[in-house]
Structure 1
Amino acid sequence: MQRSRFELPEAAIWNPSTREFKILPPSSIQHPPYFSPFEETYLTLDNVSFDNAAFGFDSKNDDYKVIRFVDLTFVNSEEENPHPHFMDQVELYSLRSNSWKEIPSPDYTPTCTTLGNNYVDGICYWKTKTGAYLDFRGLILSFDMGNEKFSILPIPEFVGSFPEYYVDLLVFNGSLGDIVYPSQRIDTSFDLWVTSEGVWTKQFNIKSISGVVYPLGFGKNGDLFLRDTNDEVLLFDASTLEIKKLEINTYLDHFRFAISLHAYLESLVRINGIQEVEKYVIRQPTRNASNEY
């Protein structure tokens, strides 16, 4: 079995309510020798990366699970400038068994970083696609935590077409949604579509927000979090149509495009981890107690 020549990053889950961290076991993915029919030789494993992880609850088995996509890169170590070859795999972690297992990889893989953890009623969602650059069709890849199966859903053509529009998945008021905005983002408008039992409905349109670069997701009151051209985090109140600049400096020590918004639901479920180290955790309230997000 081909082994990696580098250390793999650790993954962890965190429950802010019980203030526990749990370092997850090492990856269970096997690194099989890769035979290239074009080069007629076995290739060397050059890199392993983990992407598009999602967390959710399996009510069927009363279990919390983490799913992640594993990208293996192989090269011909004999070549000076080797051409990389890629292999995709998927693994699933169970809190109940405290172990990973490899599961069959779908025909489609996530295409972009998602806006937070798109999990609704036991199912995780990612954006994917099929077709070439100008002829590609947007699709939604889903994974059911209970039966551990992947499925494909269409993104309706009427929500926006590439390359004129970006379409990002997110969760809005407990339902899966699409937020659609033009790729030319000088003055950006947003359309929100939400699906229920396969039917897409347009919820609202937010017109011409100057200087906004990227949507981050919705709070529990339906307010939209945004990032502007100065890397500031903004809050758009859909009921008053007002924008407020938030003093959230999450990007100071991080790569700014990796900023994401995650909905938090309080839970006292023990994860049998270790207590968080206070000096590494910064808790910054965003509103007063009478007007929480």
Structure 2
Amino acid sequence: MVGSNKHTRNLCCEGELEATVPTLPQEIILEVLLRLPVKSLCRFRCVSKSWRFIISSPQFAKTHLDVAFQNKTLFSRRRRIIFSALNLYSVEYESMCSVDDGDVVAVELDYPLKDNPNALGDVLGSKKNDLVYFKVSEDEDENPVMVKVDVQSSVNPRNWVEIWGSCNGLVCIAPDEDTLFLFNPSTGESKRILEESFSGPATCGVTAYGFGYDSTSDDYKVVRIDTDSSFSVYSSRTDSWRRIGTFPYDCSVYNSGMFLHGALHWVATSREDEDDKYVVSVFDLREELFWGMPAPDVDDSFEFAVGTLNGCLCILYSRDDLHDDFWVMREYGVGDSWARFSISLPYICMKPLCLAKNGEALLEVDGRLVQYNLEEDTYKVLGIQGIPVGVGFEADTYIESLTSPNGFFGREFQMYN
């Protein structure tokens, strides 16, 4: 059609072709833009001032996200898996559903502090002799045994990037120890979260974070649980931390809080129960209060993590031994609705990522990506091209969006005047 449509191209006097934009009602243009991928919208900001004004609007970003949540096809196209493997990588969700050879292609992401060397790599980089001696025997009656290791060849120059949660296209990451950023992998925007600063005594360290969205106040929040059982909340609207109180459960939680139904969830043990019975610790982001949800009857000698599968809360083993089961809460908040599932794939640490179109579950299992058919109890391990061989990974999901981490939250903005 290009070259034959006189409404889209006109012949100039100099004999060159000049492109013109068709005149369409603004409502039609808006409906088209709302269905386009983020990559295209970022390019189309340069089309005209009016398009830039529309696409850069916080209200447009919210509507663009809402349209995807309401349309299964658009949601599937915009869903991504983010991997941390001494770097950050992204994979299209739909490509995982369509691969026949078991391989998917990962795209390396640019993220804040990516090129900052880690402390060990920086120290070793200043040494002329990369051979380091380690003492492996502490027996005073024996001569110490020393081994010589070429450390430089085994040290990656980058820090491991922790992924502490994902919500509405934003991912909370820690590319360095206790250094948090809100990061949009689709647009490349990021915002460093200020370090916690209080006048009280210093805490002993962090055990876990959680990240989620309070829709009532239009606020993205990060929750921090410390080893001394204190917990704090960061608000993106105020760009500040607040010390809230004391974590009301045993503070031995190490995994990121799972965001679901406006709340963050961890598996913890009750301080009031003499038998150290497990509960699901729920932090309501709107009320900023903890409450306990019944957990399934599980062995208290293991550690557990919380995940989601098809919108349902899950409890899974997170370390210590091989296991072949997990639990799913069929009805949120109802203790009697916990159901135990057995699988033929033993795991030490497992995290459900999402369900594919064909109903198969995409799982992160001990640093591998697995496609699992829950009905037939069969699975296959998916290879990931682009991630270094032999490097394990952590994974999470996110949806492509225009959500900005830089100060758009809570603003009133009229984009159609």
**TM-score band w.r.t. shorter chain:** 0.5 to 0.7
- Judge conservation of contact 1:111–1:127 (CA < 8 Å) in 2: no
Q: Distance in 2 between matches of 1:236 and 1:172?
A: 12
From the superposition, tell whether residues 181 and 11 of structure 1 become closer, same or farther in structure 2 (CA, over 3 Å): closer
Q: Distance in 1 between matches of 2:316 and 2:264?
A: 17
From the superposition, tell whether residues 128 and 94 of structure 1 become closer, same or farther in structure 2 (CA, over 3 Å): same
Instruction: Structure 2 unaligned segments of length 5 or more: list them.
Output: 1-175, 408-417
- Supply the AA of the counterpart residue of 2:354: G
- Supply the AA of the counterpart residue of 2:395: L
From the superposition, tell whether residues 181 and 26 of structure 1 become closer, same or farther in structure 2 (CA, over 3 Å): closer
- CA deviations 1:233-260 (Å, max 9, x no partner) are 433232443322223458966xx6xx54
Instruction: Tell me the equivalent position of 2:399.
Output: 265
Aligned length: 226
- What's the offset of the Cα at 1:31? 3.9
- Judge conservation of contact 1:180–1:192 (CA < 8 Å) in 2: no
Q: Distance in 2 between matches of 1:252 and 1:113?
A: 25
The higher relative CO (CA closer than 8 Å, separation ≥ 6) is in: 2
Q: Is the aligned partner of 1:214 residue 2:349?
A: yes
TM-score (norm 2): 0.47
Percent identity at matched positions? 22
Q: Is the aligned partner of 1:148 residue 2:288?
A: yes
Q: Distance in 1 between matches of 2:388 and 2:299?
A: 32
Q: Distance in 2 between matches of 1:23 and 1:54?
A: 16
Instruction: Tell me the equivalent position of 2:316.
Output: 179
Instruction: Structure 1 unaligned segments of length 5 or more: list them.
Output: 1-6, 33-44, 72-86, 274-293
Q: Distance in 1 between matches of 2:246 and 2:389?
A: 33
TM-score (norm 1): 0.65
More strand by share: 1
- What's the offset of the Cα at 1:109? 4.2
- CA deviations 1:152-198 (Å, max 9, x no partner) are 222132xx3233x664321122222223699752xx42233214242
Q: Distance in 1 between matches of 2:270 and 2:388?
A: 34
Instruction: Tell me the equivalent position of 1:90.
Output: 231
RMSD: 3.4
- Supply the AA of the counterpart residue of 1:126: W
- Supply the AA of the counterpart residue of 1:265: I
From the superposition, tell whether residues 252 and 51 of structure 1 become closer, same or farther in structure 2 (CA, over 3 Å): farther
Q: Distance in 2 between matches of 1:177 and 1:171?
A: 5
Instruction: Tell me the equivalent position of 2:371.
Output: 235
From the superposition, tell whether residues 200 and 26 of structure 1 become closer, same or farther in structure 2 (CA, over 3 Å): same
Q: Which residue, 179, 182, 188 being the options, matches 1:19?
A: 188
More helix by share: 2
- Supply the AA of the counterpart residue of 1:242: T
From the superposition, tell whether residues 192 and 139 of structure 1 become closer, same or farther in structure 2 (CA, over 3 Å): closer
Q: Is the aligned partner of 1:28 residue 2:163?
A: no
- Supply the AA of the counterpart residue of 2:402: L
- Judge conservation of contact 2:318–2:349 (CA < 8 Å) in 1: no
Q: Which residue, 214, 224, 235 being the options, matches 1:68?
A: 224
Q: Which residue, 63, 80, 100 being the options, matches 2:241?
A: 100
- What's the offset of the Cα at 1:19? 1.7
Q: Distance in 2 between matches of 1:31 and 1:250?
A: 44
